[in-house]
Amino acid sequence: MGTVDGAGRRGPLRAAVVWLLVALNVATYFFLQYGGLTLEIERSIEFRCTAEEYGLVPAELAHPGRRATDVFCEPGVSTEEEEEEDHEHARSDARMPADAPAAITPFTAMVMHGSALHLALTMLVAAVLGLRLARELHPLAVPALYLLGGLVTAAALVGLAPDMGIANVGASGAVAALLGAALRRFPRENLTWFAIPVLVLALLAAGAQVLIAGLDLAQPVAGDGGGVVYWVPLAGLAIGWLVSGARR
């Protein structure tokens, strides 16, 4: 009678961890951010205010006590009465701290996205890479790499642009860590049903990042002045490559 090894028994668990990570991002977009099925940046007040509160603002971390504000989230400001009535969370005064502490925003920002297109592009790459990595690493390695990549990318952004007052969201740095690990451990493998080589997938991921940058999807509130955010995922790529270790 054949036997089932430990990796085989843990296979469904490893895949489940990856899909739970994807589900967390999807749930955050639709239920915390009030996101819709849009290709461009969401424009609703709820979406803008949530991004301002839970997105990563480098200036808030580099200069404790400083808080970014959005005119649409200030008290009594509304262009349509219906939007004011539908706004489900209290607006903060521009001179008062937001409800969410700045310290949690590096964590919350990495599961937030600027549009449904932004969400789909990053989660597609995350699922493809995560499922393959989960087959040979510890079940918690994929979320650990995701978290580490997101935090390192956030630290790089704060270090490079400490005065940036723009709220940034997105999982590009976190997913880049998964890509770095894949490039380190199995750079010549083919992934997905379409047998896409990892190196080609890396180029496709870079193209997706260019598209995200072109549409400025990582900055739902303010558009200009934060282009560096689209380059710092390279820090996530580097840390993923460094910590994953070559395949034995």
- The pLDDT tens digits for 122-155 are 999 999 999 999 988 887 999 999 999 999 999 9
Q: Output phi, psi for 196, to 5 deg.
A: -85, 125
How many Å apart are CA 234 and CA 218, to the nearest integer? 15
State yes or no: pLDDT of 214 exceeds 90.
Answer: no
* pLDDT tops 60 at residue 186: yes
Q: Residue 4 — very low, low, confident or very high, per pLDDT cuts 50/70/90?
A: very low
Tell me how far apart the alpha carbons of residues 29 and 35 are, in angstroms, rounded to a whole number.
5
Q: How confident is the model at residue 96 (pLDDT cuts 50, 70, 90)?
A: very low
pLDDT greater than 70 at residue 77: no
Average pLDDT over residues 98-117: 88
- Position 97 scores a pLDDT of 41
Counting residues of the chain whose pLDDT is more than 70, the rounded percentage is 75
DSSP type of residue 173: H
Name residues whose C-beta falls within 8 Å of residue 11's C-beta, 6 or more positions apart in sequence.
Answer: 135
Q: Which has more confidence, 101 or 88?
A: 101
Strand partners, 168: 56
What is the structure's pLDDT at 41? 64
Give me the chain's average pLDDT, please: 80
Residue 83 or residue 101, greater confidence: 101
pLDDT value for 74: 58
pLDDT band of residue 38 (cuts 50, 70, 90) is: confident
Considering only CA atoms, give the Rg of the chain.
19
Assess whether pLDDT exceeds 50 at residue 235: yes
Q: Determine the Cα–Cα distance for residues 23 and 3; give it in Å rounded to an integer.
A: 33
Lowest mean pLDDT among 108-112, 164-168, 181-185: 164-168
Cα-flanking dihedrals φ and ψ of residue 110, to 5°?
-80, -5
- Structure confidence by residue, pLDDT tens digits, 16-36: 999 999 999 999 999 988 888
